[in-house]
Amino acid sequence: MSPFEIRSVPTHDQELDAVTRPDAMDRPVTMDDISECIIFFMVNDRVGIIARRHLALADQRDGGSKHPACIVYSKLHNQAVDFAKLGKPASMAHAPKLKGRLDFMYRQCQL
């Protein structure tokens, strides 16, 4: 195989293909509905948290991003990205926990 050929990595997951439709309303949308939706999104948006934890776990665990804990975070990340479209937040209740903080994730001191 030449270095320019694309290698096929099996990443297909039936669970990720399940299309969920947003909840339909049986009445016209009001400004209160819109403001509730925006506030609900702001409170439950976890894309950044999930992405950082996935990166940290991939760095900590043997197998990198193919470790089962990282696969859980990959699925959570998919749900979190779709949250804006579908209105169903990603639940981190059963997400794997981190072991400390990695050195490259600390903030630099501003002097």
Which of 93 and 16 is assigned the larger pLDDT? 93
Q: pTM of the full predicted structure?
A: 0.67
3-state secondary structure (DSSP) of residue 13: coil
In this predicted model, what pLDDT tens digit does every residue of 23-69 receive, in sequence order?
778 999 899 998 998 899 889 888 988 998 888 888 888 888 888 88
Task: Tell me the C-alpha distance between 46 and 62, whole Å.
Answer: 25
Which of 76 and 101 is assigned the larger pLDDT? 76
Task: Tell me the C-alpha distance between 66 and 69, whole Å.
Answer: 8
Residues 6+ apart with CB under 8 A from 52: 105
Under a CB-based contact definition with an 8 Å cutoff, are residues 83 and 45 in contact?
A: yes
